[in-house]
Amino acid sequence: MLSELHVKNLALIEKADVEFKEGLNVLTGETGAGKSIIIGSVTIALGGKVPKDMIRNGAEYAYIELIFTVSDERKIHLLKEMDVFPDQDGIVIISKKIMPSKSLSKINDETVTAGKLRDITGLLIDIHGQHEHQSLLYKSVHLEILDRYQEKKSHELKMNIAKTYREYVRLKERLASFQLDEDTRLREMDFIRYEIEEIENAGLREGEEEELSSKYRLFLHGKKIMESLSVAYEAVNSDVTGRALKEVESAAVYDERLLAIRDQLFDVDSILSDINHEITSYLEDLSFDEEDYQKMEERLDLIHNLEAKYGKGVDVIFKNLEEKKIRLGELEDYDRLKQETEKEIHLTEDKLEDLSGQLSCMRKETAKELTEKIKEGLHDLNFIDVNFDMEFSRLDHYTANGFDEAEFMISANPGEALKPLKSVASGGEMSRIMLAIKTVLADSDDIPTLIFDEIDTGISGRTAQKVSEKLSYIAANHQVICITHLPQIAAMADAHFEIKKSAEAGKTTTGIQALQDEEIVEELARLLGGAEITDAVKGNAREMKRLAAEKKLKKS
């Protein structure tokens, strides 16, 4: 679950720290207080787009930190597979630093890309806002919802379809390569034979280029080496040390303290004698044959030319050679291989048809169950005579997800024919439909935290009460965070937070605080009441909170 949220220097927020609880967390506040900034900060931290001018005026950067507590062993295993390792308490920290020129996202202090961030956080949290219920306008989302509902049942089959589809695409691409006319095929064969012959005739061997390059440098600088070593030889052979040794040795007869110096000079003389022999031996071995030099230069030129054509390094050239031999074999046995590929495509297509058919049957069967549950949920949300179904059609091609296309159909009034969801539902209805779907998915979904923003768009009265009960139902098995302006929803809260705007020293700031007991009653009264909050309104607020607590107790 999302345990903590820390925000600094984001829009109107100078500093905000929130400790969320299990169950239903409700956020309320006056219009314009900055409720959307709080949820917006979570969205941004999870990899969402950073709007312009989000850094608080006068600040160098904005910072958002989310602290998740993960207790489910399966989730921990999946996170570890993605190189995210919760600590011994299951803590995962996600942070985002927003600077004027760039943003930086981290998970447990390790920088991550936006793509990886979304993959990882998709295991931990699901944000539902206006954008998401608008996504119900796209029927591709409808099939995703169905597949998510039956994920455990269809997972292995879908993986098999995806694997078979990849093979199908590969074979189709291979068949496309068998579209040469006879003249083109013969020309390509001649050219590949020439390239194979060129590489093989070169007689390349591993390490040859490095060895030749070393010798070539030696030849190239040979004259300078000989001159330098000749001067060194003369210097070492000057016998200065030998004369010094004789003089010190004759003086040591009179003072034994000079024997140590004599011994040192003796060692030096021996070392110089050894160096003398080494230089002489090196110079004797050093030979500069002009013909050898030319052959070496030509060999290196050959190797470099082959590398320019076939890749840097002998190993790359050899790999290229094997690929050319394979291609030559394909061209030489062109007709047979083409027929084999066509046969493989037919077999793979038959397999893909069978697997996609199995998935389609499974989807249609599951769709009956799913739409019936969604319809029940819609009844609970005050869609009195609603009818809800899913219509399937077949694509004219295969995909990694089978061949199905599906769309939710709805009739909100008696006697009306089922119509596509996008052509019937209003914004407020879309919000409730998505809540009904989320409620159904909550029973099979293992995402621990759900955030609802604008879930109460366009609703009031009895419908608002129904929505609050649905949110409370979901919160029994998930952590739910919800922004609302409806007292019916706020009364159901397990934890209630108020977002408030204030002005100090000419600066406007947005803050958030957890409410307790009488503070909760005061806030519920504000949501219930008009211009003046009377004792009667407060009494209504207390009664609403008491009834909500009783309903939750009965359900538990």
Residue 157: predicted pLDDT: 96
Burial class (CB in 10 A: 0-12, 13-18, 19+), 178: middle
Does the residue 428 lie in any domain? no
Does the residue 226 lie in any domain? no
**Residue of 16, 129, 50, 1 lying closest to 499 (CA atoms):** 16
Residue located via tokens 């996600």: 94
3-state secondary structure of 285: helix
How many domains does the chain fold into? Answer: 1
Token digits of residue 325? 């031999």
Does the residue 384 lie in any domain? no
Does the residue 325 lie in any domain? no
Cα separation of 136 and 13, whole Å? 32
Helix axes 139-149, 151-176, angle to 10 degrees: 120
Cα separation of 67 and 87, whole Å? 12
**Residue of 97, 71, 69, 67 lying closest to 4 (CA atoms):** 67
The dihedral formed by the CA atoms of 533, 537, 543 and 545, expressed in degrees to the nearest 10: -30
Does the residue 473 lie in any domain? yes
Residue located via tokens 């220097």: 9
Q: Residue 400 in contact with residue 165, Cβ under 8 Å?
A: yes
pTM listed for this prediction: 0.65
Q: Which CATH number is 536's domain given?
A: 3.40.50.300
**Residue of 81, 183, 153 lying closest to 362 (CA atoms):** 153
Query: What does the pLDDT profile of the chain (556 residues) look like in tens digits?
Result: 999 999 999 988 888 899 999 999 999 988 777 777 888 888 888 888 888 888 988 899 999 999 999 988 888 888 998 889 999 899 999 999 999 888 899 999 899 988 888 888 888 887 776 555 566 777 888 998 899 899 889 999 999 999 999 999 999 988 887 777 778 778 878 898 998 988 888 888 888 777 787 777 777 666 677 777 777 777 777 777 778 878 888 887 787 888 888 888 888 878 878 888 887 777 666 666 667 777 877 888 888 888 888 888 888 888 888 888 988 887 777 778 888 889 999 999 999 999 999 999 999 999 999 999 999 988 888 888 889 999 999 999 999 999 999 999 998 878 788 988 877 656 667 778 888 888 888 777 677 888 887 677 777 778 888 888 888 888 888 899 988 888 999 999 999 999 988 877 777 788 889 999 899 999 999 988 766 788 888 899 999 998 888 877 766 6
**Residue of 286, 336, 50, 64 lying closest to 178 (CA atoms):** 336
Does the residue 283 lie in any domain? no
Provide φ and ψ at 30, rounded to 5°.
-60, 155
Cα distances (angstroms) measured from residue 467 to each of 109, 296, 470: 39, 85, 5
Q: Residue 528 in contact with residue 503, Cβ under 8 Å?
A: no
Please enumerate in sequence order all residues whose Cβ is within 8 A of that of 147, keeping only pairs 6 or more positions apart, or say none.
154, 158, 363, 401
Does the residue 513 lie in any domain? yes
Q: What 8-state DSSP symbol labels residue 180? A: -
Domain that holds residue 523: 1-124+447-556
Distance from the Cα of residue 55 to its chain's centroid? 25
Cα separation of 60 and 9, whole Å? 9
Does the residue 60 lie in any domain? yes
Q: Residue 555 in contact with residue 476, Cβ under 8 Å?
A: yes
Q: What 8-state DSSP symbol labels residue 52? A: T
In this structure, which amino acid lies at residue 282? Y
Cα separation of 423 and 429, whole Å? 12
Burial class (CB in 10 A: 0-12, 13-18, 19+), 202: middle
Token digits of residue 533? 């909050």
**Residue of 464, 483, 494, 486 lying closest to 541 (CA atoms):** 486
The dihedral formed by the CA atoms of 218, 221, 224 and 225, expressed in degrees to the nearest 10: -10
